[in-house]
Structure 1
Amino acid sequence: MMFFRSLFHDGGDAPGRYPKSQIEAAIERAVDGTDSRLRLLSGYRKRLLEPVVTALDHAVALVDELPEPLIAARERYHEEPKLSAVFASAEFMLEQFGRDRVLRNFLAGPGRYATQVTTLLRAERIEKHVLGRDLVDGQMRRDVPQVAVNFAGHHLVDPSADELETRRLLKQRAFDQVVTLALARIASAQVERVDLARQRDLLRRKLDALERGDLSFQPPQAGFHDRRSLVAELERITHQLHRLGTEDKVLQVHLEMVAEVLMDAGRQLWSRDISLHLDAMNIERHPRDPSGHRIILRELHTAQGRPAILLLLKLTPSDLPPPEDFLTAAERYLR
């Protein structure tokens, strides 16, 4: 984390303008987060230089695009449509903050004297088709198709007493997320390689048996009625294995995978604004319906995984309810 603190400090996060020592540290972080054996390859730093800078630039832009933090306080709940959409009530909002493990750990440690905290809220947007009450041609009907929008899985990340520090932490998180996606690609290739190797070995045994004229009471294998089809399938699998890297080339293939994912950071991790027209019950309304209010939320997407709503918040620790003891938490769970 220290290299990000110095990397993203006092304007040092302008795109492409990073100290050489910090870029090297970012390269090593990418290697540690994917396959540390890449250090056995000569020239791995040179190969990853441009992709890492590209991923850093993308992480900076992604976080800099986040709007100014909302004041998440009881008295602001009804004034801020985003808060009233994402949380069912002001009490629920503060209860969620009070129970959040990351925030509680921060307030019990480095943030114990903080009078204000900046943090990022992540929540999942869930749309559900329901039948509800509505006016249709001047008459109230109970079976009108509607879309209800709910938000679940609220949790806070990277709390800090300083907004700039929170944004630095989020930039590190964005970079690390792209590195994690590179690791996922390597892991997927390894699973595919093992499966293909198993299929290849099985086909070789079948081909050997066929060429020996092996007699058996077993029925012919489905899809393989002759030597030609067996050889064709074996060649196809061998080609796929070669693409994934033979044993002596696998590290080079992994290096290329990491470089490609980092270079493609903009399509691996991105955010976009979504526009919703919601009424007081979080029912989606037509833009011209006066009962709905337009809100714009930032939604984060990854090449793998589900999208999440992002809200940068400022909250006051003294507004939070006291932490629950074990007995109170158990009673709430059993209700």
Structure 2
Amino acid sequence: MRADSVDGGSGFGQALAALFGRLWSSGADEEPDQDRGLVAELTDTIVDTVEPRVRARGDYRERLAPSVRATIAYLRELGRLPLDPVPLARASWGPDPCINAFFGRAEDIPALLGRSQELRAFFETNAMATEAFALLGMQREERTVFAPSMENGVLTQDVPQTTVNFTGHRLLSPAASLEQVREEAGKRLMLRLAQLTLARVLEADEQGAPDAQHKHLQAIRSRLLKQVRDGVGSFSEDPTVLARRIERARLDLDHAMDPKSRLATLDGSLALIEEVFGHPTKHVALERTQLHLSRMNVKVKPGSAEPHQVLQLAELRVGEQLKAVIAFVRCPRSELPARKDLLAQAERFL
């Protein structure tokens, strides 16, 4: 896999800019003839990510085209889901139910913004920008606690209640427009599908290769598989850095393996690419869910008279490794703390 296959200069970056620029902004389907070149380019970049030797099969583009088209069509459907950006600001913590639920305190918001080196770099590069758009990713955690609760006007002790917490906040891909952020989200989704396929190829090699018990080869495979799984499981992983780590491990594997045994797996690799990209609904889902929460993030039954707020969440699932709550956000420059303020906060804990 080329290290540049996931950045903005070529490969995935170039091909997916064409796809997701249309996908996430206009939502309009393209005519088949207009899509033909894009399908071919995406097919090549998927193959380069999963198993470049598949190019040895002269008909690989024709064989994979229906699967790639299926993924494009499905991601276009996801792109039509309305996800309006929310303001990531302290003033929103009180009135906005999502921001209130996502953060325990209003002060947590500038702390998150201040930790994002990408956001700082954006504002430093775009000196006149007053805000940036970004993708916020989080994990949703639920646990049962026993606490007092009012039931039918009577205070009852030790009532089982479900609390909801949002953790692991990450700001991804700050940009000047929402369309640019949506494009980057689409690139990351396609990359995760390719990495998911590569993980399956490696698992198939591990089970079927005649020399799978060779300790050195097995160790290299395990290292490469771990890199791939780490990438699939982290939507915030820098794609370029991840690609380079995978590339280094893959070169070690290529040097250790018998080329004949590797070539024998090409049909299996093609079949796995067909399976993943031909059935995207099995591997990627973006669902809208509704949560009824009190101000203390305790779950409340729908229709309850207890004061609560209703959250509309977007939950992203990619394979079995990644499930995250995502939201598009607007980040005001005025909320970004100065670096000296961050250092002062850190010193309080030293």
> Do both proteins adopt the same fold according to a TM-score greater than 0.5, normalized to the shorter chain?
yes
Q: Deviations over 1:11-33 (max 9, x none)?
A: 78633544433322211110121
User: Is the contact between residue 133 and residue 140 of structure 1 (CA under 8 Å) also seen in structure 2?
Assistant: yes
User: Is the contact between residue 7 and residue 13 of structure 1 (CA under 8 Å) also seen in structure 2?
Assistant: no
Q: 1:149 aligns with which of 152, 159, 164?
A: 164
Aligned-partner SS, 1:129: strand
Please name the residue that 2:17 is paired with. 5
State which drifts further: 67-76 or 256-265. 67-76
User: Is the contact between residue 94 and residue 100 of structure 2 (CA under 8 Å) also seen in structure 1?
Assistant: yes
User: Is the contact between residue 119 and residue 158 of structure 1 (CA under 8 Å) also seen in structure 2?
Assistant: yes
Q: 2:331 aligns with which of 282, 302, 315?
A: 315
In the alignment, is residue 139 of structure 1 matched against residue 151 of structure 2? no
In the alignment, is residue 126 of structure 1 matched against residue 138 of structure 2? no
1:147-186 pair list within 5 angstroms: 147-186=162-201
Please name the residue that 1:106 is paired with. 122
Unaligned runs of 5+ in 2: 1-12, 215-259
User: Is the contact between residue 81 and residue 295 of structure 1 (CA under 8 Å) also seen in structure 2?
Assistant: yes
Aligned-partner SS, 1:33: helix
Take 1:15 and 1:92, find their aligned partners in 2: how far apart are those partners? 40
Q: Which residue identity lines up with residue 294 of structure 1 in the other structure?
A: V
1:194 CA displacement: 4.6
CA gap of 1:66–1:171, structure 2 versus 1, over 3 A, is: farther
Q: Which residue identity lines up with residue 173 of structure 2 in the other structure?
A: D
User: Is the contact between residue 121 and residue 310 of structure 1 (CA under 8 Å) also seen in structure 2?
Assistant: yes
CA gap of 1:174–1:61, structure 2 versus 1, over 3 A, is: farther
Q: 2:267 aligns with which of 245, 252, 259?
A: 252
1:77 CA displacement: 2.3
C-alpha RMSD over aligned residues: 2.6
Take 1:262 and 1:313, find their aligned partners in 2: how far apart are those partners? 29
Please name the residue that 1:15 is paired with. 29
In the alignment, is residue 72 of structure 1 matched against residue 88 of structure 2? yes
Take 2:211 and 2:280, find their aligned partners in 1: how far apart are those partners? 29
Aligned-partner SS, 1:90: coil
1:323 CA displacement: 2.7
Q: Which has the larger radius of gyration?
A: 1
In the alignment, is residue 117 of structure 1 matched against residue 129 of structure 2? no
In the alignment, is residue 300 of structure 1 matched against residue 316 of structure 2? yes
Q: Deviations over 1:167-220 (max 9, x none)?
A: 122222222221121112112212222589649xxxxxxxxxxxxxxxxxxxxx
Aligned-partner SS, 1:106: helix
Take 2:287 and 2:333, find their aligned partners in 1: how far apart are those partners? 30
Take 1:140 and 1:52, find their aligned partners in 2: how far apart are those partners? 58
CA gap of 1:141–1:178, structure 2 versus 1, over 3 A, is: same
CA gap of 1:333–1:103, structure 2 versus 1, over 3 A, is: farther
Aligned-partner SS, 1:307: strand
1:285 CA displacement: 1.1
In the alignment, is residue 262 of structure 1 matched against residue 277 of structure 2? yes
Take 1:112 and 1:247, find their aligned partners in 2: how far apart are those partners? 51
In the alignment, is residue 96 of structure 1 matched against residue 112 of structure 2? yes
**Identity across the alignment (%):** 27
CA gap of 1:333–1:301, structure 2 versus 1, over 3 A, is: farther
Please name the residue that 2:291 is paired with. 276
User: Is the contact between residue 193 and residue 277 of structure 2 (CA under 8 Å) also seen in structure 1?
Assistant: yes
* Pairs aligned (count): 288
Take 1:276 and 1:267, find their aligned partners in 2: how far apart are those partners? 24
Unaligned runs of 5+ in 1: 200-244
Take 2:167 and 2:91, find their aligned partners in 1: how far apart are those partners? 22
Aligned-partner SS, 1:159: strand
Please name the residue that 1:50 is paired with. 66
Take 2:208 and 2:93, find their aligned partners in 1: how far apart are those partners? 53
Take 1:195 and 1:323, find their aligned partners in 2: how far apart are those partners? 56
Take 2:152 and 2:342, find their aligned partners in 1: how far apart are those partners? 54
Q: Which residue identity lines up with residue 148 of structure 2 in the other structure?
A: R
Q: TM-score, normalised to structure 2's length? A: 0.74
CA gap of 1:304–1:324, structure 2 versus 1, over 3 A, is: farther
Q: 1:191 aligns with which of 196, 200, 206?
A: 206
Please name the residue that 2:54 is paired with. 38
Take 1:36 and 1:246, find their aligned partners in 2: how far apart are those partners? 15
User: Is the contact between residue 205 and residue 212 of structure 2 (CA under 8 Å) also seen in structure 1?
Assistant: no
1:162 CA displacement: 1.0
